[in-house]
Amino acid sequence: MIRLVAALALMLAASPALADEMRPVAIQFEQIDETNWRLGWRQPIASAADDRGAVPQLPAACALAGPVERDMAPLAVVGRAPVVCTGSVAGQRLGWPAFPGQGEAILRVAPRERPVQVHRLTPEEPYATITARPGAAQVWRSYFAIGGDHILAGWDHLLFVIALVLLVRRPWPVVKAATAFTLAHSLTLAAVTLGFAGIRQDVVEALIALSIVFLAVEIARGARGTLTQRLPWLVAFAFGLLHGFGFAGALREIGLPEGEVPAALVSFNIGVEAGQLLVVTAVLAALALLRRIRPADEPLVLRAAAYPVGIVGAYWLIERIAA
């Protein structure tokens, strides 16, 4: 367990791009008038091997109407180009063929006077067929997968969940704490998405890192009389409200399909919870194995695991405050 958490800490600390900033490729295809469209994309750069000259593949009825412009952003390439389409793009394919080094891409298509549609692209399915009107099934599939990927690839959210399980340890209290965390971030996510609340994203990201440091300190202390130890569900609920702002920031970048906002919100949340359940189950299984093999070493292992978790959280906190 110590080696596993230490390896995770070294991997995370080695690359600032692996925190919540670990985003998929984001592609926007927006209609301006009857024939003119605006193509834009943001490609995270995870390594020098990534193809920085990649361009989304256009539908057959479309072609570039001008030069491709690229700007370097922190850990990303931002590209844009004007596009002309001679006919309807419904039923045609648009995609991202340059997947080496990238786990997925999120495609947002915004036809004029028609609902926005969102597609998730993967190395196995790098193209999406643009529909005349997105169906509910497509929305549910896409946003469920996006939610699951966000919790599993958003390392700060992931590390918080791991730390929460290490702190609580016992299955039933873990279930209550995880449920409180889920309820809280669902409330915040809905409130932000619907325009009822909002916090600057840089402040949110710093506070999320601070929440990881807080849990790491509580694990290292090992005291059973603190509020966190006595009422972990209450602490999980409070931090869940905060993490909901982080989820909302990611969802804001992706966008929501018009007319299917409730379905997108619910399916995104279910995807987050599915990914969270996988993490909770894996950590509880590891703890159960530890108790079976070396029960006397459990307190020592937990306290030792708290240090790399806290170091990574502190690194992210300093990095985000300084940014």
Q: Do 52 and 134 form a contact (C-beta atoms < 8 A)?
A: no
Identify whether 148 is part of a domain: no
* pLDDT, tens digit, 9 for 90 and up, residues 97-116: 876 555 678 888 888 877 77
Task: Give the long-range contacts of residues 78-81, CB within 8 A, separation 24 or more.
Answer: 78/40, 78/41, 78/42, 78/43, 79/40, 79/41, 79/42, 79/43, 79/55, 80/38, 80/39, 80/40, 80/41, 81/39, 81/40, 81/55
Considering only 89-98, 197-206, 216-225, which range has the smallest mean pLDDT? 216-225
Domain boundary among 75, 103, 134: 134
Identify whether 188 is part of a domain: yes
Per-residue confidence (pLDDT) for residue 38, from 0 to 100: 94
Strands 105-110 and 93-95: unpaired
Per-residue confidence (pLDDT) for residue 17, from 0 to 100: 41
Domain boundary among 70, 101, 134: 134
Q: Residue 266 belongs to what domain range? A: 2-19+154-322
Q: What is the mean pLDDT of residues 164-178?
A: 88
Identify whether 112 is part of a domain: yes
Domain boundary among 99, 134, 169: 134
pLDDT more than 70, % of the chain: 85
Identify whether 207 is part of a domain: yes
- Say yes or no: 220 and 122 in one domain: no
Per-residue confidence (pLDDT) for residue 65, from 0 to 100: 93
- 30/251: higher pLDDT: 30
Identify whether 145 is part of a domain: no
Q: Do 65 and 31 form a contact (C-beta atoms < 8 A)?
A: no
- Say yes or no: 63 and 195 in one domain: no
Strand-pairing partners, residue 64, are: 83
- Say yes or no: 246 and 122 in one domain: no
Identify whether 65 is part of a domain: yes
Per-residue confidence (pLDDT) for residue 136, from 0 to 100: 72
- Say yes or no: 35 and 14 in one domain: no
pLDDT more than 90, % of the chain: 26
Is the pLDDT at 272 greater than 90, yes or no? no
- pTM score: 0.72
Per-residue confidence (pLDDT) for residue 51, from 0 to 100: 62
Q: Do 226 and 313 form a contact (C-beta atoms < 8 A)?
A: no
- Say yes or no: 239 and 158 in one domain: yes
- Say yes or no: 173 and 101 in one domain: no
* pLDDT, tens digit, 9 for 90 and up, residues 209-261: 999 999 999 888 876 667 777 888 998 999 999 988 888 877 776 777 766 77
- Say yes or no: 175 and 307 in one domain: yes
Q: What is the mean pLDDT of residues 161-175?
A: 89
Per-residue confidence (pLDDT) for residue 46, from 0 to 100: 59
Q: What is the mean pLDDT of residues 30-59?
A: 81
Q: How many CB atoms lie within 10 A of CB 202?
A: 12
- Say yes or no: 74 and 103 in one domain: yes
Per-residue confidence (pLDDT) for residue 14, from 0 to 100: 46
- Say yes or no: 226 and 163 in one domain: yes
- 209/134: higher pLDDT: 209
- Say yes or no: 183 and 273 in one domain: yes
Q: Hey, which bits of 75-157 come out as E strands?
A: 76-85, 93-95, 105-110, 117-121, 127-129
Number of folded domains that form the chain: 2
- Say yes or no: 279 and 229 in one domain: yes
Is the pLDDT at 129 greater than 50, yes or no? yes
- Say yes or no: 79 and 171 in one domain: no
